[in-house]
Amino acid sequence: MAKARVEAARKRKSAGSTSSVSTAQTYLRGAEAEDKKAATAAGKLADVSDKIARNGADQTSKLASLASAEKSEREALARAEDQRHRRQKTERDAAERKADRQRKVEKDHVREMARLSRASVPHVHLRPPEPEKLRVLYLTANPSIDRALRTEAEVNNVLAALRGAKFRD
């Protein structure tokens, strides 16, 4: 673009220093052509500058979107990890509760078996027996009826044995 303007200025100067009208016109047409080249180049330069600016804005936008997407992904991963930890904790707690219940059932079973294995005789308080009067029956055979049977000595021996047994304890 700068070359074209320098070339256009040189041709105009040449057109002004020449004495021939046709040569001056040729130099002026060349200068106009160089000016058109410079204008076209300036337009292209403006278009390219606009494209570069749009590209820079697009890159900035895409980088912001990428950063936002990465942040969202990290947050989603963190939430998933937290959820996984909570689920594992819930499962561990449930397993602990189940094990506790099982231990309690086993402990109750052991207690019940121990209770059943003990001799379980109910303690009934019985009144001591009341002393009874002792009756002794003497049966003897007496073939003759005319004379009486004498059992006083035997009765006295039995009474003495009973008295001795009563006071022995």
| pLDDT at residue 167 tops 80 | no
- Percentage of the chain modeled with pLDDT above 70: 88
| The 3-state secondary structure of 17-86, one letter per residue | HCCCHHHHHHHHHHHHHHHHHHHHHHHHHHHHHHHHHHHHHHHHHHHHHHHHHHHHHHHHHHHHHHHHHH
Task: Please list, in sequence order, all residues whose beta carbon lies within 8 angstroms of the beta carbon of residue 5, skipping any fewer than 6 positions away.
Answer: 34, 35, 38
**Residue 35: is its pLDDT beyond 90?**
no
pLDDT band at 100 (very low <50, low <70, confident <90, very high): very high
Question: Do 42 and 26 form a contact (C-beta atoms < 8 A)?
Answer: no
Instruction: Give helix 21-117 / helix 2-17 axis angle, nearest 10°.
Output: 170
Q: How confident is the model at residue 28 (pLDDT cuts 50, 70, 90)?
A: confident
Residue 53 has pLDDT above 90, yes or no: yes
* Amino acid 63: pLDDT: 96
Q: Could you tell me what percentage of the chain is helix, strand and coil, using 3-state DSSP and rounding each to the nearest 5?
A: 75, 0, 25
What is the number of helices (H) and of strands (E) in the chain?
Answer: 3, 0
pLDDT at 7: 76
pLDDT at 9: 79
pLDDT class of 148 with cuts at 50, 70, 90: low
- Encoding tokens for residue 166? 């009563």
> For the segment 54-96, what is each residue's pLDDT rounded down to a tens digit?
999 999 999 999 999 999 999 999 999 999 999 999 999 999 9
Distance CA(155)–CA(142), nearest Å, equals 17
Q: What is the pTM of this model?
A: 0.41
What is the reported pLDDT for 4?
Answer: 74
Extents of the domains making up the chain = 2-115
d(CA 32, CA 44): 18
